Amino acid sequence: MNSFLSAFLRVVLLGAGTAVTFLPRFLEMRLGRVLGRFLLAIDFKRYKIAQENMARCLPELSDEERRRLLVENYRHYGILALELLHYFSPFRGHFSDYARRIAVLEGYENWQAANARGKGVMCISLHMANWELMLALAALRGIPSTLVTRHLKPEWLHKRLEAERLAYGCRCVYAPNTLLVVLRALRHGESVGIAMDQYMHPPAGIPVKFFGVEVDTLTAPTTLALRTGAALLPVTQKREPDGRVRIIMFPEIKPGPEQDLALATAPLIRVIEGMIRDNPSQWLWVHRRFKNLRQAS
């Protein structure tokens, strides 16, 4: 991104972040749905990707049902966009206050049980509803968290998000230092957040069955769990019609047979599939999840 576009984006985001700071939640939800319908009308490339993904993953739905799901999905993106703009509020600590106001954490006792083993916890999640609220609320509830994520561009945007996450107690780790930092966090009994729903290029990703096809999938959490004994704790998010966002922590799950990394990862992917089927309108269907496909037997 050139310097002019970067500066323009910065002005827009800071201005929009100031505006959403004062929006009542009910109005934020309404405006978000309108914004989503606008995005649906102009986002031809991602619209097509979402259509293809839905047809592949949910063939049991009729064309009309998938069309309605796509509309709801884009309404979700509009709401999500306004929610994320709260990161750019000019008021210190605003995102933490916003997370406390609209989100609730359920299943905290499942994290406590997993954490009690003292081997660290890997929170396995996906790009569902608003994952940033999950990071904030977990950290605010006293869960020591490290997020495995990507280094963003432009640099000012990366530093802004990193600073906001650190402010509510979530550290971030980026390649190429990911493995060492994650191992250190687990050794200290901390929790690590990893999203496993996106495409991962080899060699970090290997073919694992996902919605009936074998597609390259991140397997590092499985390897780390087998190596360190860390707990694998599924976490999802769901935005309710009233605007409340539920952060749901499920009981710990065990990896599959150690001899086969794909089979060992399969239980995690089945849980993620279930989360998507339970709340399909709020998943990131516009991501190109299916690349280099191998038809599963």
Domain that holds residue 52: 3-295
pTM for the full model? 0.94
The β-bridge relationship of strands 170-173 and 294-295 is: unpaired
Query: From CA 146, how far away is CA 185, in angstroms rounded?
Result: 7
Total domains in the chain come to 1
Helix residue ranges, H only, the chain: 3-21, 25-42, 44-57, 63-84, 94-102, 108-115, 131-140, 155-168, 178-187, 220-228, 261-278
Question: Per-residue pLDDT averaged across 199-219, rounded?
Answer: 94
The two structure tokens encoding residue 291: 């690349």
Residues 42-94 pLDDT 10s? 999 999 999 999 999 999 999 999 999 999 999 999 999 999 999 999 999 99
Cis preceding-peptide flag for 176 (omega within 30 of 0): yes
Query: From CA 122, how far away is CA 219, in angstroms rounded?
Result: 13
Query: From CA 270, how far away is CA 250, in angstroms rounded?
Result: 14
Residues 238-292 pLDDT 10s? 999 999 999 999 999 999 998 899 999 999 999 999 999 999 999 999 999 999 8
| End-to-end Cα, the chain, rounded Å | 43
